[in-house]
Amino acid sequence: MPEAVSLATVDAEEFPAARMVLVKGTDERGVVFYTNVNSNKGRHLRANGKTAICAWWIDTATQVRLRGIVEEVTTAEADAYFATRPRISRLGAWASDQSEEIPGREVLEARVEEYARKYPGEDIPRPPHWTGFRLIPDEIEFWREGAYRLHDRLLYEREGTGWKTKVLSP
């Protein structure tokens, strides 16, 4: 999975929203990313856990799309990942009211300085509004560019504890 992927969510009015997120883990359970749960994406994910990710590799002309539901990672997982972030990123998680309007960047920088005084060392706890989500895919589609627009498409659909495979027309 590339480092950054496009994440799609739906708001309360059923309007889609897409943004890039950093992938911080993948395993047999799904794809993990982190955010402020009070942000637009956090609110969307908590209100409607259905989501989709699209990843693109330009050098191989390959796309992977995942669709499914999200679950919040465990407290232990969120704490462990948060501790690996650079100090300024951890302070930023406290300082930023993600998605909220601010009068200017100087407000954000002042808040970072405020939290730097509050947490002068490396021991910065994870904010209660900051955690991770895991996309648990029900569908995974692999798309590879083909000559003359005759692309290869394979769709995997979750079926019980396994996967059903379909070949799709381009």
Structural domains in the chain, CATH included, are: 4-86+127-168 (2.30.110.10)
Catalytic residue among 67, 87, 126, 149: 149
Please report the pLDDT score of residue 154 as a whole number.
Answer: 98
Check pLDDT > 90 for residue 18.
yes
How far apart CA 90 and CA 28 sit, in angstroms, is 28
Please report the pLDDT score of residue 4 as a whole number.
Answer: 95
Q: What is the SS3 assignment for 136? A: strand
Please report the pLDDT score of residue 1 as a whole number.
Answer: 79
Active-site annotation holds for 149? yes
Beta bridge partners of 90: none
Please report the pLDDT score of residue 59 as a whole number.
Answer: 95
**pLDDT mean over 86-100:** 96
Check pLDDT > 90 for residue 2.
no
Please report the pLDDT score of residue 8 as a whole number.
Answer: 98
Check pLDDT > 90 for residue 29.
yes
Report which secondary-structure segment, H or E, holds 47: helix 40-47
User: What are 123-151's pLDDT values in tens digits?
Assistant: 999 999 999 999 999 999 999 999 999 99
Whether the model pTM is above 0.75: yes
Please report the pLDDT score of residue 128 as a whole number.
Answer: 97
- Average pLDDT score, the chain: 96
**pLDDT mean over 87-109:** 96
Closest CA to 24 of 153, 141, 146, 133: 133
How far apart CA 40 and CA 170 sit, in angstroms, is 34
**pLDDT mean over 89-111:** 96
How far apart CA 13 and CA 61 sit, in angstroms, is 34
User: What are 36-70's pLDDT values in tens digits?
Assistant: 999 999 999 999 999 999 999 999 999 999 999 99
Please report the pLDDT score of residue 93 as a whole number.
Answer: 97
**pLDDT mean over 79-85:** 97
